[in-house]
Amino acid sequence: MTDATANQGPDGLLLATDGTPLKAKLRQSMKASRRRAFGLVLPLLLFVLASFVIPIIMLLWTGVSNDTYAANMPRSAPLMRAWDGSSQPTEAMAEAMVLDMIDARKAKTIGKVASRVNREQSGTRSLYTKSARRAAKMEPPFLDALVKADKDWADIETWRATKIAATSLTPAYYAAALDYKYTADGEFVEQDEVRQIHVQLFWKTIWVSGAVMLFCLLLGYPVAYLLSHLPAKKANLLMILVLLPFWTSLLVRTTAWIAMLQSQGVLNDIFVWLGITGDEQRFSLIYNMTGTLIAMTHILLPFMILPIYSVMRAIPPSHVRAAKSLGATNWTAFWRVYFPATIPGIGAGGLLVFILSIGYYITPALVGGQDGQLISNFIAYHMQRSLNWSLAAALGGILLAIVLVLYWLYDRIVGIDNMKLG
Amino acid sequence: MELPPYATLGQKIWHYTFYFICALIFLFLITPILIIAPLSFNAEPYFSFTEGMMSLDPEAYSMRWYEDILANGMVDPEQPRSWSLFWEWLWMGLSPVHTMPQGFFSDAWENAQWVRAMKNSFFIGFFATLVATVLGTLAAIGLSRSEMPYRGAIMSLLISPLIVPLVITAAGMFYFYSQVGLSQTYIGVILAHAALGTPFVIITVTATLVGFDKSLVRAGASMGAGPAKTFWKIQMPLILPGVVSGGLFAFITSFDEVVAVLFLAGPEHRTIPRQMYSGIREQISPTILAVATILVIISICLLVTMEMLRRRGERLRGIRS
């Protein structure tokens, strides 16, 4: 019907039926199908952004910005920020302070302001609430009036603490999360020895995650090996024993471990019955670090077994046979041939277990007791109990950064596409 | 894993030692889950086997903790219960809730704490699963197209709810949702659980789509079916096992989730895990073990369903293991 030359433009380009060059047409249709693919993803992308990403970003923002003081003490805040932090506080600063206190007391926000300043220097909470009560009756000169209300106002440290609180955008919380103190001069000083808890806690969390990962590997590797070398029927049957814990509720498993491990629990009863320990000296296996480690290993073990198993199943048995036929002993054949081939599975399982355990919250909270608490428990404590959201956000920001680095590593080594379930 | 006939003594010893070690690890995996079932029938308020239980004395076993599940929070747990009326009502199947026999059962349905927690769990789980499955399936189809732009980056963003520590997610949602008036509402918890469930849907549906033969869609299109028709008639039936198992994963995630509920839910939105959490923290009684046993039975049912779905999916796509 058409002869070949009709589909060619003047400069020899191939043309589509409507006369546009074929290349442009192809590009156009590629663009359309790209848009269609993107359109399918878009609803979820927006949903995840709105319900998950933005909340986390907003929370992290409070870790560097806290405008409690600036919002409620509008006159005093700019003056405090402008003050150099070492010269005598001026009368203007005192006047703004008193006027703001009168307003804040009326608006019932003085308590919030007081606790904000109190975080910078303890003892200032009562100073603020007390002074605010008397502020309405104060007369100029306000500086003297403040000092008369409480002599702490003569102490320059009070004003320096206020200056830090007045600065909305501040590295103070991240400094606090790393056990440093951010001073009014803009310097970072190490916290007192007794108040250095966070870095230690981070190391403890990493240490626990590493230990759980190691235990999971030690327990998971033999099981994965057994499962991948048994005939399919038997392996499927045994696989149920791995998958059932995987599908059982976290709370159920934690409850089960409480029943197992507590001092009147099943395990201790068995120990007493076997004569390993006396009825009076039962082992304390729970509400401490031991309990956290045992329960977390049990809960995360399937996440180690499944990736190693799927890698092991893909290793041809002929490789080990070949090594043996070339004179390798059983051990050499395993260690030099088989084991290196399973490293991708170990990497995938290990990283997954590490990532999941570093953010663990429920199990340590329920079976950890005092010394089994991890960084997540601290974040929850500051969110719900002490209400120091900015510190919680800073701790969370650091934890999130560690997790994201590991996630990136996981993506590089394993690939997110290769994540499998069950 | 069979021992060759020429194995040396050392090899034999190692072989059986290995089996023994594996048996111990399986014991470690499964004992805690199985042990709660007999313990939940304990007649005494303990978490351990009494002497009577060890000697299989029927007196030492009782159903009291299962009855306690209902009794908690009821106005009058002692009132007479007419089981025959209840079975009759249940037998009618679809009869509405308000025709439930008055007295004990309607009291339990309205007031019992665990029953309320169960209703909340199913309500939240259902809607979270619905949102996660619909959005996740659409996204997975888009993500498996080769022409999808920025595929890697978007994929890692959409999977990230699985990776980010739950406490950070929950704290962020608590902070943000309370500013927009969504904290302490069902919607807030549902949104949170849907976000946490979507990665599972994406992973399972994408895995199903790997084996999907695109020429089937083209064949359908060449015979005159529009995009909607090819989707519903060809693609959807084939990826359905993946969608359903992704949905099950999303449901179990919501059903098992407690951190977001701790942060976002008010007292009237308590779910089963939340109720268990405070049960473990405050007044630890074997009622928790009874609930746990019921939950284990539910997870066994889910496990069986998943396995059947997986086999069916592989058969449909012609993959044999």
pLDDT attached to residue B19: 93
pLDDT attached to residue A10: 66
Average pLDDT along chain A: 87
Q: Is the pLDDT of residue A174 over 60?
A: yes
pLDDT attached to residue B240: 87
- How sure is the predictor about A1, in pLDDT bands with cuts at 50, 70 and 90? very low
A366 touches chain B (CB under 8 A): yes
Average confidence (pLDDT) over A382-411? 91
The whole-angstrom distance between residue B252's C-alpha and the CA centroid of its chain comes to 2
All residues of chain B having their beta carbon less than 8 Å from the beta carbon of residue A420 are 203, 207
* Domain B114-284, CATH number (from 3.40.50.2300, 1.10.260.40, 3.90.1150.10, 1.10.3720.10): 1.10.3720.10
CB-closest option in B33, B258, B303 to A362: B258
| A44-63: b (≥16 Cβ within 10 Å) or e | bbebbeebbbebbeebbebb
pLDDT attached to residue B124: 96
A47 with B131: Cβ contact below 8 A: yes
pLDDT attached to residue A79: 86
Name the residue ranges covered by the structural domains of chain B.
74-109, 114-284
Name the residue ranges covered by the structural domains of chain A.
4-62, 68-167, 198-418
Poorest-pLDDT segment among A99-103, A126-130, B104-108, B156-160: B104-108
B165 with A269: Cβ contact below 8 A: no
List, for residues A62-76, the tens digit of each pLDDT value.
888 888 888 888 888
pLDDT attached to residue B1: 64
d(CA B258, CA B252): 12
Q: Is the pLDDT of residue A16 over 50?
A: yes
Q: Is the pLDDT of residue A46 over 90?
A: yes
All residues of chain B having their beta carbon less than 8 Å from the beta carbon of residue A57 are 172
All residues of chain A having their beta carbon less than 8 Å from the beta carbon of residue B295 are 248-249, 252
Region of B234 (left: φ > 0; alpha: ψ -120 to 50; beta: rest) is: alpha
pLDDT attached to residue A86: 81
Structure tokens at B205: 């549906």
Q: Is the pLDDT of residue A204 over 80?
A: yes
Average confidence (pLDDT) over A279-283? 81
What ipTM does this complex have?
Answer: 0.86
The three-class DSSP label of residue B119 is helix
pLDDT attached to residue B171: 94
pLDDT attached to residue A420: 63
List, for residues A329-380, the tens digit of each pLDDT value.
888 999 999 999 999 899 989 999 999 999 889 999 898 888 888 999 999 9
List, for residues A288-345, the tens digit of each pLDDT value.
898 999 999 999 999 999 999 989 998 998 999 999 899 988 889 999 999 999 998 9
d(CA A113, CA A119): 10
Q: Which residues contact A385 (CB under 8 A, 6 or more apart)?
A: none
B22 touches chain A (CB under 8 A): yes
Region of B283 (left: φ > 0; alpha: ψ -120 to 50; beta: rest) is: beta
CB-closest option in B135, B175, B256 to A249: B256
> Closest by alpha carbon to A253, among B280, B171, B3, B109?
B280
Poorest-pLDDT segment among A61-75, A186-200, A384-398, B174-188: A186-200
DSSP of B247-315: HHHHHHHHHH--HHHHHH--GGG--HHHHHHHHHHS---THHHHHHHHHHHHHHHHHHHHHHHHHHHHH
State which residues of chain B have pLDDT below 70: 1, 82, 93-102, 317-321
pLDDT attached to residue B321: 43
Q: Which fold has domain A198-418?
A: MetI-like fold (1.10.3720)
Virtual CA dihedral for A239, A242, A243, A248, nearest 10 degrees? 150
Q: Is the pLDDT of residue A2 over 70?
A: no
pLDDT attached to residue A287: 87
CB-closest option in B1, B39, B302 to A226: B1
Report which residue type is found at B31: T
A385 touches chain B (CB under 8 A): no
